[in-house]
Structure 1
Amino acid sequence: MSTNTIAEKLQDRSDDLTRSERQLCDVILQNYPASGLGTITSLAEAAEVSTPTVARLVQKLGFSGFPEFQRALRAELNEKISSPLTKRASWVDDAPEGHVLNRFTKAVIDNIGQSMSKIAPAEFEHCCDLISDPSRKIYVIGGRITRTLADYFFLHLQVIRDDVVQITSSSNAWPHYLLDLNEKDVVVIFDIRRYENGTLKLAEMARERGADIVLFTDQWVSPIAEHATVSFASHIAVPSAWDSNLTLMLMSEIVIAEVQERDWEHTQARMEALEDMFDRTKLFRKF
């Protein structure tokens, strides 16, 4: 069963929309999902279209009318801001039958399928162009939970290329990193619900300095997307009080695999030098 958000449905149908409907679609996505929670008249006025255009668009998305469309938006908003406790309460009473091994695995597989189907190859290529460009310095940061993803991404990228910096998640320390941030540097950010204010502020300030932002986020989309050059939205909901980061991990590993190949000769030299250091320090046991 599809769990696509309204934003994803709008993007899927973009080629089928009229000019007025695309104009309306842009307004809805600007401050999604809050932009669609006013009256039908206020939404039409904001997009400078007629109210029948709004009604026609929501019907194209499969809703019987504007009230049903807004109920779906409110449900998304509740999902977007929910805590681990409220997430568990939402599934525990009506959890499907079967062992958690099967239920959880199916949820993750569904998440991967839905997430991968939304990735535009051109966006992926642009992301890898940015991260593999040796003239750009790369900064990586995550949040309270996603910093583990940022650590993993940083560690691999540090082996692959020069000039990779990990920004601490502490908001009282990351302004120091911005001092060295130059135009066209790249900031890779991991941010999922409940989106952190400090990370958003960092993204805003990095964009002001001319940096490009690559964002790994969830299907409800971090507000950082407004400042991002490239965004990857992954489905993360599973039968748990916690969200699953597996799809974000998969996406970051695909990026790592591609960036590694962009200048393999340089990467290979770095890896060989690193292996020599490992041997000299006897870090790993050899059998």
Structure 2
Amino acid sequence: MSENILTISDRIQHKLDDLTRAERQLALSILENYPASGLGTLSALAKDADVSVPTVARMVQKLGYKGYPEFQAELREELRAKAKSPIAKHDTWAEAAPVGHMLNRFTEAVIDNIRHTLGQIDPASFDAACVLAGDAQRHLYIVGGRITHTLAEYLFLHMQVIRPNLTHVQSTSNSWPHYLLNAGEGDVFIIFDVRRYENNTLKLAEMAHARGAKIILFTDQWRSPVHQLAEHSFSNRIVVPSAWDSAATTMLLVETMIASVQNLHWERTKERMEELEDMFDQTRLFRKFT
């Protein structure tokens, strides 16, 4: 399976409106525990979803597969793609490396990622996530992982200017359970989690969810297991001609969220910016040329 084509989850989401009631019930059952839900036998999947075996066969064909074996084979390819190490990803790319300079190849891949990602995002869900992120009555916690902590820090730095009442959670530290002591009903966790998904991040999300917090997830095209707990989940295309995955599309969404929350609360943001600039002047942090 090429990593740039639609995943089975993508196909299901695109076809939801065209499915019968039983097929939709089956589709939602698959997505609920995706991708593990499709790894068993056809009859087991039908039983878990409480639908008939012919319903499974029909829906698989509607997704574009000749039969259940082909459906499962692609699902296993997705699982293998999820677990790829940086070295394995580089080797896979190098086998079919296209011609052209890296600048062009990389840019084309990023543009393709952006196009596919934006084509699948529900604007209403994104707007609702921005409303949650900007609500200063709710404590906002921002969480990143081993690599994505850079995205979390970037979002946190800007949100500090836009709103009060927020915390940057160091999810890779043994101290992160301390942050949960103050988390409660209605608080918001913005979590970044991409392949190879981190156990600490999932456990933190589970505990935050159990305390009544709402979760906004930025993940990849295969989706972190945290998506099952998320109020809003945004899947980003991340594959580029590199040993590492790309954060470009995720950064685009992060900066869009910053701009959106800033606009929702511009008067408050403006006052905080002015106060911050006064502090910068007092500390002489930046050089003045006038």
Q: State whether TM-score is above 0.5.
A: yes
Matched, 1:38 2:36: no
SS of the residue 2:170 aligns to = coil
Matches within 5 A, 1:139-150: 139-150=141-152
Matches within 5 A, 1:190-229: 190-229=192-231
Distance in 1 separating the partners of 2:220 and 2:13: 15
The aligned residue for residue 189 of structure 1 is 191
TM-score normalised according to structure 1 size: 0.98
1:96 CA drift (Å): 1.1
1:170 CA drift (Å): 2.8
The runs of 5 or more residues in structure 2 that have no matched partner are none
The aligned residue for residue 284 of structure 2 is 282
1:149 CA drift (Å): 0.2
Given candidates 116, 119, 123, the residue that maps to 2:118 is 116
Given candidates 230, 242, 245, the residue that maps to 1:243 is 245
Distance in 1 separating the partners of 2:173 and 2:32: 26
Q: Output the amino acid matched with 2:244.
A: W
TM-score normalised according to structure 2 size: 0.97
Q: Output the amino acid matched with 2:94.
A: V
1:61 CA drift (Å): 0.9
The aligned residue for residue 155 of structure 1 is 157
Matched, 1:260 2:262: yes
Q: Output the amino acid matched with 1:43.
A: L
Q: Output the amino acid matched with 1:112.
A: I
Identity %: 59
Distance in 2 separating the partners of 1:128 and 1:95: 39
1:261 CA drift (Å): 0.9
Q: Output the amino acid matched with 1:266.
A: R
The aligned residue for residue 56 of structure 1 is 58
Q: Deviations over 1:208-245 (max 9, x none)?
A: 00000110000000000111111100000111110000
Q: Deviations over 1:11-46 (max 9, x none)?
A: 111110000101110111111111111111111111
1:58 CA drift (Å): 1.1
Distance in 2 separating the partners of 1:37 and 1:106: 34
SS of the residue 2:222 aligns to = coil
C-alpha contact (below 8 Å) 2:188/2:214 kept by paired residues: yes
4+ runs deviating over 6 angstroms? none
Q: Deviations over 1:65-117 (max 9, x none)?
A: 11111111111111111111111111111111111111111110000000001
C-alpha contact (below 8 Å) 2:146/2:172 kept by paired residues: no
The aligned residue for residue 28 of structure 1 is 30
Distance in 1 separating the partners of 2:155 and 2:205: 18
SS of the residue 1:64 aligns to = coil
The aligned residue for residue 170 of structure 2 is 168
Q: Output the amino acid matched with 2:198.
A: E
Q: Output the amino acid matched with 1:231.
A: S
Distance in 2 separating the partners of 1:49 and 1:209: 34
Distance in 1 separating the partners of 2:85 and 2:29: 28
Distance in 2 separating the partners of 1:96 and 1:51: 43
The aligned residue for residue 90 of structure 2 is 88
Distance in 1 separating the partners of 2:6 and 2:280: 46
SS of the residue 1:165 aligns to = strand
SS of the residue 1:4 aligns to = coil
The runs of 5 or more residues in structure 1 that have no matched partner are none
1:171 CA drift (Å): 4.0
